[in-house]
Every structure is written in structure tokens, then in C-alpha cells.
Chain A
Amino acid sequence: MSRQRYWIAAGICLSVLLVWLAFFWEPDIGTPTGHPGPGTLRPAGQPMGGDFTLDSPDGKLALQDYRGKVVLLYFGYTFCPDVCPTSLSALGQAFTALTPEELAQVQGVFVSVDPERDTQEVLSVYAPFFHPRIVGATGTPARVAEVARRYGVSYMKQKPVDDRPYTVDHSSFTYIIDREGRLAALLPHGAPVADIVLQIRRLLGDKGKPS
């Protein structure tokens, strides 16, 4: 009797597993892996890129308004003590290395994934600190999440320890968008400044080449 019950239970478990595999299992290939749980990042999807509209200190910021320019996009947060300043400094240095003609065709965008703390006032000071050509942007948590999803950005607010400010785990890539608004390249964290310059020049093509 108990043996029979065991087999029934095992059968039910197997069917549930099969149904789940068939309908809900979406394996992520080539994306960060992890064990989703409290405080852990879920693997983000593949970056698709695409247009978006967020709020910046200068008003609405729409990616489509930068058509004709090469846009360098970075997702982070201003309480980020090391990773974001490192990436944004590299971006700023790359911009500094460009000729004025090239620089006129380039725009940096820092998207905060921490709208709770990163007000427009904070962003207005933070982003241009690294280079005047970098603008800060954020939006409602839902909108930021949507933009992040499209670019394959993963982020997760961490539980604060005691009275320390909370940190946010986040993917640290620099997304390079070509003149037509397409996601053209993705630079990993710590990419050398020279690589960023190279990517920008590649996308600027003949028009951006110093004469």
C-alpha cells in the first residue's frame, strides 16, 4: 500500500517537472549564471538594445534624439564606490582622447538603476564630473527595469548591513550604440581606455576621422 502511494507520488512529481520544463524552463545561454534567491542576481537576458526614454536633469532623455551620434551607455548607481567611478572615468578619459570633431559626435549616458536615491539633483553633479559629455538619467523603477531588461543589464539591491547604506550588485558593461541607434558593441568592465577609443572611432567611420 505504501509502496503504491510512493509510485503515485513519484509519478505526480515527474509530471509536474515535465510540465514545468515544457512551459516555464527558459535556459539562458551565455548569460551570467547564479542561484536565484534572496539577494542574488537573476541571470539577465541577452542584450537587444533599442530606444528608450528616461528622465535626465535636462528633462526627457530619449535615445532616438541622439541619432547620428555614437552613444556610450553605462548602468550603475552613484553610491557605487568603485566599479562605476572606474568605468565612468575610463569613459571620460576616452572622450578626452577624442578630437573636438569626434567628441561632437559622441554622447555618454549614465543610467542609474537606483532611482530611490539617485535624484536628478544628484545625477546633475555626478555624471558630468567624469566628463561634461556624460549625462545622468533615470526613471521610475519600472521604467528603469524595462530599459535594463532590454540591454541585458542585471541588478539587485543588497540587504544593508547594520546602518550602512545599501549597495547594488550590477552588471558592469559599457554599451556602445551606433549612429543608427543599434547596439553595436559591449565592453566588459575594466576595458582599456584605448579599446573604448578604438570602438568609438570604428563607429564614427570616415566622418569621425581626424583629417
Chain B
Amino acid sequence: MKFAKPLIITLVLSAIAGSALADSVLSVHAPYVRLMPPGIKTTGSFMLIKNDGDDDRRLVRADSPAARIVELHTHLNENGVMKMRAVPHIEVKAHSQTELKPGSFHVMLIDLTAPLNEGDKVPITLEFDDGSTIELAAPVKKPHAAMPMPHR
């Protein structure tokens, strides 16, 4: 097997290059964790994930030391009935973006390890299907701040 070694080296190199590239083409914007009333141990994190790369990517896992369980979720609105369901992944298409927002995709933080206060930074690690990860610190915000105000 004369070609085996160069082939493996090439594969390994391209894999490293690939993941390094993926790291730079995926970006997270305006992440936040929703401040919940005192005593409530479940909340959600929202953000915009951009993919400037040529390949579709999938967010496959999220993790945080702030909660016992971290899951990817979405909402299905079936004739006004809101059903929250865990999803195996959240897709971010090539040269596109996916918004994790209230009533839609979100990172669920279940069983918070400590109460969260407004302004706290929650460390969250996002893992994508190419093995790349993004670390972020999402500030805790009141739900009000995330919505536009009406005119008086």
C-alpha cells in the first residue's frame, strides 16, 4: 500500500483544515439567557448563528455549567397549541443564518445549578456536526429588553 500513508496524511490535514475553517465561518451574535422569576429553575437561551461557509452545518449539542441538563428545543404551534419538543439538531445552512428566538428554536437550560440574576454571564458551549465548538458568555436579560416597545 504505497499510497496509504500520504493519503492518510492528506485526509488528516484536510480534516484539521476543515475544522479550523469551520470555526471561523460559524459565528454567534447577540446571545442572551432569559431572566425568569425568582425560584424558576428552567430558562432558555437565544441567539443568532451565522454560517458564512459553503457547507450546511448543524448545531448538534449545547452544554453549560449553569444547568443540570442542556437541550436543543423547538416549538410547534399547532393551531394555537404550543408544543415544546427536543430536537436532535438545529440546522444552519451555508451562507445563511438561523435565529434561536422565543417561540422557536432555543437552547433549554433545565434545572439551573444556581439562581441567575440580570447581567450574569452564562457560559455556553455549542458543538457543531463538524466537531467544531463555539464558547460564549450569554448575558442574562429581562424578557422585556428583547421586544420592541409600542408607540404611545
Contacts and interface: CB of A to CB of B under 8 A. Distances in A.
A19 B77 CA distance: 35
Contacts of B82: 83, 169-172, 189
B80 interface: yes
Contact of A129 (B37, B111, B150): B37
A154 B79 CA distance: 11
Contact of A126 (B40, B43, B148, B151): B40
B81 interface: yes
B83 interface: yes
Interface in B72-102: 73, 75, 77-84, 86, 102
A197 B147 CA distance: 15
Contacts of A34: 78
A92 B149 CA distance: 11
A125 B110 contact: no
Given A93-B149, A164-B69, A173 B80 contact: yes
Interface of B: 34, 36-40, 42-44, 69, 73, 75, 77-84, 86, 102-103, 106, 108, 110-111, 143-144, 147-152
Interface of A: 31-34, 41, 78-79, 81-83, 85-86, 89-90, 92-94, 96-97, 122, 125-126, 129-130, 154, 161, 164-165, 167, 169-173, 188-190, 192-194, 197
